[in-house]
A and B are shown apart, each in its own frame.
Chain A
Amino acid sequence: MAEMIRKSSVDEVVNHWVLAGSCLLLMITGFAFLFHLEPVGSMFGGFNTMKDVHNWGGVVFSLSLLYSMKHYLADAFEYDADDLQWFKVAGGYLSHKVTVPPMGKYNPGQKLYYLAIVACGLGISISGFGIWLMKDDSTIMLLSHLVHNIAFCVFAIAVPVHIYLSTLANPGTFQIMVNGKLPLALARKRYPKWIKAVGKM
């Protein structure tokens, strides 16, 4: 066995799955509400029950989102010159010939993605509670409905990209969300600045 290094704590992996699971559940039920997808409603025993699933799934998502800040928020606000260069070569995703600058634990794409999820996640959670609990305030209802749907569009576009980049586009990455570890040799290539920082280069 190759020597492994832990990139994500158990706590982080578990919370990521709670966040991912609740997010997908909310997106599927959300699409069902938006486009009257009766087969999806039937899977929950009707739209009345699906509304409860959507509301309480939103509670789980909100709490999980807040907890995830403990893991990612500090990193997501730190950028350096390599990050700028990373954008200039589009992260190496559009061509394998370019030289991608050395990265830390997370690349700037991941960091900006996280900030977008935090911003839209807070927006969609707060507006969701507005629609759920403040039905009789016209301004709150209309504003919440708009914010909820704008944030939903961001999720509908950003989440599939995140899933693709973390699975098919970068083989070996998905495993980090299974057991939190990856081979040290691979980590040295992908996250050299992080490995240097933990003294295992």
Chain B
Amino acid sequence: MANENNSRKAILVTPELCIGCRACQVACKSWNQLPAITTKNNGSYQNPPDLAGTAFNIIRFNEVPSKDNPVRWLFVSRRCMHCDDAGCMNICPTPGAIFRTPEGAVATNSDKCIGCKLCVQACPFDVPRYDEQGKMSKCHLCFDRIANDMQPSCIKTCPTGALKFGDRAELVTAAKSEGYSTLYGEKDLGGLGSVYAFKEEPNLYGMLENPRIPSSVVFWHTYLKPLSYIGLGGVVAAAAIHYLAVGPHKDDKEV
């Protein structure tokens, strides 16, 4: 798997460094030629309110007041986590619609997507969205850029270093040495491709605790899929053995 691949790339998100400028949202729209969305003010500066078919990354504005800072905001970049064990890839019925790039990104090909929306159910992070053409769309780690030795557009534009891109192992080591006690996504789901460097507990930053692929999807992937072809092959083999060993029914006996 990609996890053992030394060339695996990742995004490191450090909310302590984020100023909430959302240039990353704009850069993503620019590179991916995504139109703007009309939204309504819902009492927060967070806009758009969540990921959308034309919003592959957003900054979540977590309002977490503390004793010495009554107006404390934690800005957390939300996007595809590029899981090593990706539920969307497991469940997708179409070859090539969701694929793993050599850099470890989970990328999409909307020409091949059949619009079944199963990936939405299998994603632990509620990331996949559908565009107006009924095709799945999400962050693809700018796989077209990184394959050409460029940074993803959001990283390229980030003015503070809150978003970093590079070799996953190096980013993780550097973040630990800088004193970030919690690295969200270091081990989850085989290791995420979007790793978060926190100084406090992940739930303070609004992160999902213990992300898991739905158990029915895991059961299906682990047991039902093999059962279908082993069962089919087994009964065909049993029929052949029966035909040779016992033979067809004979009507020679009088009733």
A positions within 8 Å CB-CB of B: 31, 33-36, 38, 41, 46-48, 51, 92-96, 102, 131, 135-136, 138, 141-143, 145-146, 149-150, 152-153, 156-157, 160-161, 164, 168-171, 186, 188-190, 192
Contacts and interface: CB of A to CB of B under 8 A. Distances in A.
B208 to A, nearest CB: 15
Given A47-B93, A149-B220, A157-B235, A96 B214 contact: no
Contacts of B249: 92-93, 96, 169-171
B228 A142 contact: no
B177 interface: no
Contact of A161 (B91, B114, B239): B239
A169 B242 contact: yes
Nearest to A47: B94
Contacts of B117: 135-136, 141
A150 B112 CA distance: 26
Given A142-B121, A149-B224, A160-B235, 10 more contacts: A34-B228, A41-B94, A93-B246, A142-B217, A156-B229, A160-B236, A164-B239, A168-B248, A171-B249, A189-B254
**At the interface, is chain A mostly helix, strand, loop or mixed?**
helix
A51 B116 contact: yes
Given A153-B228, A156-B229, A168 B243 contact: yes
Nearest to A170: B249
B251 A34 contact: no
Interface in B74-123: 91, 93-95, 97, 112, 114, 116-118, 120-121
B239 A153 contact: no
Interface residues of B, number: 39
21 contacts: A31-B228, A38-B95, A47-B95, A47-B97, A93-B242, A96-B250, A102-B255, A138-B121, A145-B216, A145-B220, A153-B224, A153-B228, A156-B228, A157-B231, A160-B232, A160-B235, A161-B239, A164-B239, A169-B242, A170-B248, A171-B249
Nearest to B93: A33
B70 interface: no
B179 interface: no
Contact of A36 (B95, B116, B236, B250): B95
Contacts of B116: 51, 131, 135
A201 B94 CA distance: 57
Nearest to A96: B250
Contacts of A138: 120-121
Given A34-B93, A164-B239, A153 B217 contact: no
